[in-house]
Structure 1
């Protein structure tokens, strides 16, 4: 159960960063209203704040989050943009997931 809190925080951070970036992207590239860009900027700031809630060091937090970002970005693109991941996207996501598990949960001596 001790792994649920850090994973939940990584998912929350991912939703803030990917969602914020997506809204800014839509505002700038798809001519969405200004409020879309403002909300995206607020979410990006929230991402930076949420990341500080992790109990690990800065470097470890961002190393693990890099893998979470890759996996969540593939899923986000699939759900929201109609991007269909191919087998190499899936394999890459699984490799990132293994890296997340090793860095965050592998027993240390």
Structure 2
């Protein structure tokens, strides 16, 4: 159950961070305005709070593992929202990153 909670939090964090960055991009680069930028800044702030809900107490581990989620999530976001078509190297890279997430977060550890 803890692993499912952790995965759910990683997915929520990805939506907040990637969505927030996308909103800022849209507001500035696509000239949609400051309301979009403001919404993006709020979403990016929410990402920071979501990360604190992870069950693992180590900030470095959480942030390192989230990096892999961010890579895969960014490609998924781009596919769904922007119609981006990743090539096989994008997909392979994302899978390697997700394998890293599994090792970093869910490998058995002895508590020291």
Query: Does TM, scored on the shorter chain, surpass 0.5?
Result: yes
TM-score range, shorter chain: over 0.9
Question: What is the Cα deviation at residue 55 of structure 1?
Answer: 2.3
Deviation digits for residues 77-106 of structure 1 (CA, Å, limit 9, x no counterpart): 111111100000000011011111111111
5+ residue gaps, structure 1, are none
Partner residue, 1:64:
65
Whole-Å separation in 2 of the counterparts to 1:41 and 1:8: 22
Partner residue, 1:51:
51
Indicate conservation of the 8 Å contact 2:9/2:51, yes or no: yes
Question: What is the Cα deviation at residue 30 of structure 1?
Answer: 0.5
Question: What is the Cα deviation at residue 108 of structure 1?
Answer: 1.8
Partner residue, 1:78:
79
Partner residue, 1:38:
38
Partner residue, 2:88:
87
Whole-Å separation in 1 of the counterparts to 2:49 and 2:12: 11
Structure 1's consecutive aligned runs of 4 or more residues displaced over 2 angstroms after TM superposition are none
TM-score (norm 1): 0.95
**RMSD across aligned positions (CA):** 0.9
